[in-house]
Structure 1
Amino acid sequence: MVFTNSSGLVDGGFRVLGLGLVALLSACARNTRPEVPLPPRVTLQQATQLVPPDEKDREGWAQDVLAALEAHRLYPSAEAVCSVLAVIEQESGFEPNPAVPGLARIVQERLEAYADKLGPLGPPTIKALLEGKAPGETQTFEQRLKLVKTERDLDRVFRELLEHYETEHPKTYTAAQLASALFKSSRLEDLNPITTAGSMQVSVRFSADLAGGDEQAERRVREELYTRGGGVYYGTARLLGYEAHYDDPIYRFADYNAGFYASRNAAVQAQVSRLTSIKLVQDGDLLAYDKQGEPVDEDSNSLKALLAFRARYAPEDLSERRVRKDALKEKEREFEETDTWEAIKHSYQEVTGEAPTYAQLPTVTIRSPKLSGDRSTAWFAQSVNKRYQRCMGRYTALPK
């Protein structure tokens, strides 16, 4: 797939089919970009035909997808359009504000778990929070939570609850926050189970960061995500708005679920594991992260394996400090320009006699209160890819 910025230069994504990885890496090594002819630009009429035929307002969805690509300066190729449509179909079935089966039950279980973590303070604290009412509401928060059907309904109730107690009952709110800290539980804000939202189930944190990163941005974004245009706008940025040299869209679909460059990094983990004989979970994370997505001080198993690789294969060329510094770039394209990356790829080729792969599907288990059971990133990527292939089949069948 080819994405370009406004200047027309290739800006990342899957390259045109037939472009070999070797040629691509050679071009990157020379700090030049391969000249790839752009595929035909998808028109609104064509994009409308790419939306599954049984969906309502096909043209409306097509307009929003093309608008999102334009807003992020991504070239509207069939591959780009079908990638976005495939994720929408997988994540929401083309519903801007999807309903979640058993949502009231999910909320109740989350509140009970939170109360248990607070110990003796838990039940009375939660009871006090839920007995209140937002301005203009006749029902308590507890009554409203029992009636929620969609993500937006639940999201709004939780936000109103927090705003109400922050302003009207600061002592109760502070007590709950203090109890949370004492018992190392979640913050009250973390009670909200809606961490991904909208038609593409994009990360709320990612979307808020894209919009500015402050509290006002998050409030605004949480409303925008439940509109068709907003969900597609933020989801498109998350799916296609970064450069990666994947030769198959399935890896980008896996990244959408597991995190930026998870597929690329899973291949690195597999190669380091083979070189060092250290068994690693190939989840695409070279470092360990906290709930806010920040690296923690404790060394992950993958980082320990990287250091073991350094000691065995590159003790003079790589310092421990360099490896640790390079690993901090694992969520960036620039990781591929580091000494650590180069050493791993070179050693793997030399030791095994095999060309190192650029990407593989990461091994990640998906657990969510929205799912009836555990899934995997591979399952997600393969499911999206099937929808993508059907979309591309519709494009191939269009009159040119």
Structure 2
Amino acid sequence: MKNSFLFSRISLIVLLSTGLMACGGHSVLSSDDDSIMNTKQIKSLIPSHVRQRDSWAHDMNEIMDTLKIEKSKENVCSIVAIVDQESNFIANPQVPGLGQKAIKEVHNRLEEKFTDKLGDKLGRAVAVYFQDVLKNQPTPNNSYLSQMKKVKTEKDLDILYRQIFDYMTKHYHVSAITGVAKFVGQDIGERMNPITTLGSMQVQVSYAQEYNRNNLNIYQLRDDLYTQYGGLYYGIHRLMLYSTDYNKPIYRFADYNSGMYSSRNAAFQQSLKKLTKMDLALDGDLLLYNKDGKPQNAKSQSEIALTKLFSENGIIITPKKLRADLKEEKEQSFENTQSYLAVQKLYQEKTGKKPPYAIMPEVIISGPKLSREYNTNWYATRVNTRYESCMRRARNLH
């Protein structure tokens, strides 16, 4: 199960494929086809409730040109659907009750978050200090805690956390706690900042860092993500610039929520589950991951099932090779690995059917910004409804 919290969201290691494809396998490379849309046509596909449609359409047009993404109706509507779902086309939207939700998260999950990052001993000590800073700094009458209650947007909360961690970095040395040197550092604010997905398309900061377009420092990059252009740029980059053979855009929408190739990997898990009769999660993660996105040494149930399947069917593959194959699960190249091809072949032989290429990942979405738990199917279905509405508008264009 994957959970998306205000304080934490699983970081994915993402590499671009050399052959760039859009939804359903359409090329995202520029072309001179008559179906290529201009700024005026893009504007007409943006929902009428959106303010400054001209500006949003201009930025979308420019970014798609910059990234060499074909401005087909399908591609434009995919982007429109995600932006509308994530923010209703507001660069830095207000989140109802955000201040109270943030305070609740601090009270309920603070120590857990610090111990995850800093270890049990130092984490607990720093969590106590953090609580004291919240209640008494910068002044008791205008504490960070009282300021937190008043935040309206994610950017407000983000900037407040930056101020808190800047204060802690400068003042923490006065506290005589063993291991303080591990805490104080240039990146402490970024390591501990709970705001990890930003902007109108809710892009992970780690992804934007990997594809930093202007060599910005981390604060500048965060601020850029809250702008209309910056939020669109990194969101479009994340949504469109990887290759798949999905026959429906809904699977790309699911990937946007639960991770690149989650839909393909969930289908792989489903095939594996049917072949081994093991109770496998269909979450699209074939390995176990640490909170920093790195694979754990421990074997996942999918890896154990593969070992069992290959052993029972006389397929020779070393544990090292199997692990190497699974490490490619976030790339299209996984489809060329010995493990992937062997499962496809066994499924065909034993069932007489072609294995599914993609299914909806079974992933829970939860966090303080949500009123209740949802799942990836809920998210992708909502986005797909917006996509289909956009495509109806597109078919009426002249």
Q: In structure 2, how many angstroms separate the alpha carbons of the residues matched to 1:123 and 1:61?
A: 44
8 Å CA contact 1:314, 1:343 repeated in 2: no
Q: Following TM superposition, by how much is the alpha carbon of 1:323 offset from its aligned partner in structure 2, in angstroms?
A: 1.4
Q: In structure 2, how many angstroms separate the alpha carbons of the residues matched to 1:374 and 1:177?
A: 38
- Structure 2 residue 165 is matched with structure 1 residue 156: no
Q: Deviations over 1:107-147 (max 9, x none)?
A: 2122223555565774454213553339xxx9432232121
8 Å CA contact 1:107, 1:193 repeated in 2: no
- Give 2:79's aligned residue: 84
8 Å CA contact 2:103, 2:145 repeated in 1: no
Counterpart pick for 2:147 among 144, 147, 157: 144
Q: In structure 1, how many angstroms separate the alpha carbons of the residues matched to 2:109 and 2:174?
A: 16
Q: Deviations over 1:304-343 (max 9, x none)?
A: 1111121122433x33322111001000111011111111
Counterpart pick for 2:20 among 8, 11, 19: 11
Q: Which amino acid aligns with 2:133?
A: A
- Give 1:378's aligned residue: 377
8 Å CA contact 2:23, 2:75 repeated in 1: no
- Give 1:107's aligned residue: 102
Q: Following TM superposition, by how much is the alpha carbon of 1:179 offset from its aligned partner in structure 2, in angstroms?
A: 12
What is the SS of the residue equivalent to 1:358?
Answer: coil
**Compared with structure 1, are the counterparts of its residues 128 and 44 closer, same or farther at alpha carbon in structure 2 (3 Å cutoff)?**
closer
Unaligned runs of 5+ in 1: 1-8, 20-35, 182-186
Q: Which amino acid aligns with 1:211?
A: N
- Give 1:32's aligned residue: none
- Give 2:304's aligned residue: 304
What is the SS of the residue equivalent to 2:309?
Answer: helix
Give runs of aligned pairs for residues 321-336 of structure 1, distance below 5 A.
321-336=320-335
Higher mean alpha-carbon deviation, 113-122 vs 192-201, is at 113-122
Q: Which amino acid aligns with 2:79?
A: V
Q: In structure 2, how many angstroms separate the alpha carbons of the residues matched to 1:125 and 1:62?
A: 43
Q: Which amino acid aligns with 1:289?
A: Y
- Give 1:361's aligned residue: 360
Q: Which amino acid aligns with 1:202?
A: V
Q: In structure 2, how many angstroms separate the alpha carbons of the residues matched to 1:156 and 1:173?
A: 25
Give runs of aligned pairs for residues 46-195 of structure 1, distance below 5 A.
46-114=41-109, 116-117=111-112, 122-133=127-138, 139-166=142-169, 168-171=170-173, 175=177, 192-195=193-196
**RMSD after superposition:** 2.9
- Structure 2 residue 215 is matched with structure 1 residue 210: no
8 Å CA contact 2:78, 2:387 repeated in 1: yes
Q: In structure 1, how many angstroms separate the alpha carbons of the residues matched to 2:63 and 2:254?
A: 21
Q: In structure 1, how many angstroms separate the alpha carbons of the residues matched to 2:175 and 2:312?
A: 54
Q: In structure 2, how many angstroms separate the alpha carbons of the residues matched to 1:121 and 1:322?
A: 41
Higher mean alpha-carbon deviation, 318-327 vs 360-369, is at 318-327
8 Å CA contact 1:288, 1:300 repeated in 2: yes
- Structure 2 residue 267 is matched with structure 1 residue 262: no
What is the SS of the residue equivalent to 1:349?
Answer: helix
What is the SS of the residue equivalent to 1:234?
Answer: helix
8 Å CA contact 1:114, 1:191 repeated in 2: no
Q: In structure 2, how many angstroms separate the alpha carbons of the residues matched to 1:66 and 1:56?
A: 17
Unaligned runs of 5+ in 2: 1-17, 113-122
Q: In structure 1, how many angstroms separate the alpha carbons of the residues matched to 2:135 and 2:268?
A: 48
Q: In structure 2, how many angstroms separate the alpha carbons of the residues matched to 1:99 and 1:174?
A: 40
- The structure, 1 or 2, with the larger RCO (C-alpha pairs under 8 Å, 6+ apart) is 2
- Give 1:343's aligned residue: 342
Q: Following TM superposition, by how much is the alpha carbon of 1:98 offset from its aligned partner in structure 2, in angstroms?
A: 1.1
What is the SS of the residue equivalent to 2:282?
Answer: coil
Q: Deviations over 1:254-283 (max 9, x none)?
A: 000000100000000000111111111100
Aligned pairs, how many? Answer: 363
What is the SS of the residue equivalent to 2:166?
Answer: helix
Q: In structure 1, how many angstroms separate the alpha carbons of the residues matched to 2:95 and 2:178?
A: 28
Q: Which amino acid aligns with 2:292?
A: Q
- Give 1:6's aligned residue: none
**Compared with structure 1, are the counterparts of its residues 39 and 173 closer, same or farther at alpha carbon in structure 2 (3 Å cutoff)?**
farther
- Give 2:315's aligned residue: 315
TM-score after normalising by structure 1: 0.83
8 Å CA contact 2:166, 2:189 repeated in 1: no
Q: In structure 1, how many angstroms separate the alpha carbons of the residues matched to 2:127 and 2:41?
A: 56
Q: Deviations over 1:197-248 (max 9, x none)?
A: 111111122112221899x643222101111111100101111111111111
- Percent identical across equivalent pairs? 35
